[in-house]
Amino acid sequence: LPSRSPFLWSAVLALALPTLVHAQADPTSRSWNQPVEPYRIAGNLYYVGASDIASYLITAPQGNILLDGGFAETAPLIEANVQKLGFKLEDVKILLSTHAHFDHAGGLAELKKKTGASLYAGAADADLLARGGKGDFAFGDRSLFPPVQVDHPVHDGDKVSLGGTTLVAHATPGHTRGCTSWSLQVEEGGKRYDVVIVGSTTINPGVHLAGKPSYPGIAEDYAKTFQRLKSLPCDIFLAAHASMFNGLEKAARLKQGGGGNPFVDPEGYKNFLARSEKTYGEQLAKEKTARPTRENGR
Ligand SMILES: [Zn+2]
């Protein structure tokens, strides 16, 4: 840009300032938010997110469902991806959330404004979404996002249907209190596939499970979450981060073609859960031995 043009510079600043408020301050966040080609996963289910921050579109003639809104900065990428696939953002009637963190809920406010869609999210995350991430048990006030109002707080087992597709909410608390995983079925080539979209099983740095837990009951919540996720039938394994299910690599294989759908990966799902549960178990054991109680020591 020509440095002599004050008009242009003020325009640039005006564009930059709103994003600074909810900036992706760190290089990690930015690397998660690179534009990537959208693609059809199977049936009426599409990937419309960024390089790592996932967002899914489920289409029907009656209207579309959009799951997760990425960072505030991801919303325009999602809109562009929806259009690239030949759909309209305005046709989104339902917005779904996995959890109230800035990298998945940051774009929801803008997407809701642009579509007028109703937002469904875990009931225990509704307040955190309305506060724009303020007072998060793990992040405090450090990871804020544009606040967004939940229209339909969902509980374990609640169903959301549109145009023949039904998504089931599974309460998978721990990562956030209202963290929700979603399951659905898609049809492809005359076969039905069970799809699971995992909210998150990650234990963020600084979070304590035992001793002085980061929230009362967090260890039990994670334990319930693993039981629940392990009980779900899963052919197609997806999650809030593409890295959790090797999304970039699978998308490249899908594009190459050559038989089979790489997203059909029941083993990958089981392995992911086994790894996550092992990490959880190890942290819990370590925290318990690091804080001896009267029964087992001094
Ligand atoms: Zn998160």
* pLDDT tens-digit readout, 20-38: 444 556 788 888 899 999 9
* 175 CA from centroid of ligand 1 (Å): 6
**pLDDT band of 134, cuts 50, 70, 90:** very high
* 8 CA from centroid of ligand 1 (Å): 37
* 163 CA from centroid of ligand 1 (Å): 29
CA distance 249 to 262: 9
* 179 CA from centroid of ligand 1 (Å): 9
Q: What's the chain's average pLDDT?
A: 90
Q: Which two tokens stand for residue 9?
A: 């510079």
**pLDDT band of 16, cuts 50, 70, 90:** very low
CA-based nearest residue to 53, from 71, 66, 41, 26: 71
Give me the mean pLDDT over the 159-178 stretch: 97
- Which phi and psi angles does 120 have, rounded to 5°? -110, 130
Q: Which amino acid is at 289?
A: T
* 234 CA from centroid of ligand 1 (Å): 22
CA distance 281 to 11: 52
* 203 CA from centroid of ligand 1 (Å): 9
CA distance 45 to 236: 11
Q: Say if CB 239 and CB 197 are below 8 A apart.
A: yes
pLDDT of res. 296 = 43
CA distance 173 to 29: 23
pLDDT of res. 11 = 46
* 139 CA from centroid of ligand 1 (Å): 10
CA distance 223 to 225: 5
The yes-or-no verdict on residue 6 having pLDDT over 60 is no
Q: Say if CB 72 and CB 110 are below 8 A apart.
A: yes
pLDDT of res. 30 = 85
* 200 CA from centroid of ligand 1 (Å): 6
pLDDT of res. 24 = 55
* 172 CA from centroid of ligand 1 (Å): 12
Helical segments of 75-118, H only: 75-84, 102-105, 108-115
* 255 CA from centroid of ligand 1 (Å): 28
CA distance 145 to 101: 8
Give me the mean pLDDT over the 71-79 stretch: 96
Q: Which amino acid is at 106?
A: G
- Which phi and psi angles does 46 have, rounded to 5°? -125, 150
CA distance 68 to 52: 12
* 244 CA from centroid of ligand 1 (Å): 12
Helical segments of 116-246, H only: 126-130, 218-231
pLDDT of res. 204 = 94
The number of C-alpha atoms within 13 Å of 27 and in the hemisphere containing its C-beta is 0
The yes-or-no verdict on residue 104 having pLDDT over 80 is yes
Distance of CA 84 to the CA centre of its chain: 21
* 190 CA from centroid of ligand 1 (Å): 35
pTM: 0.89
* 138 CA from centroid of ligand 1 (Å): 10
* 79 CA from centroid of ligand 1 (Å): 22
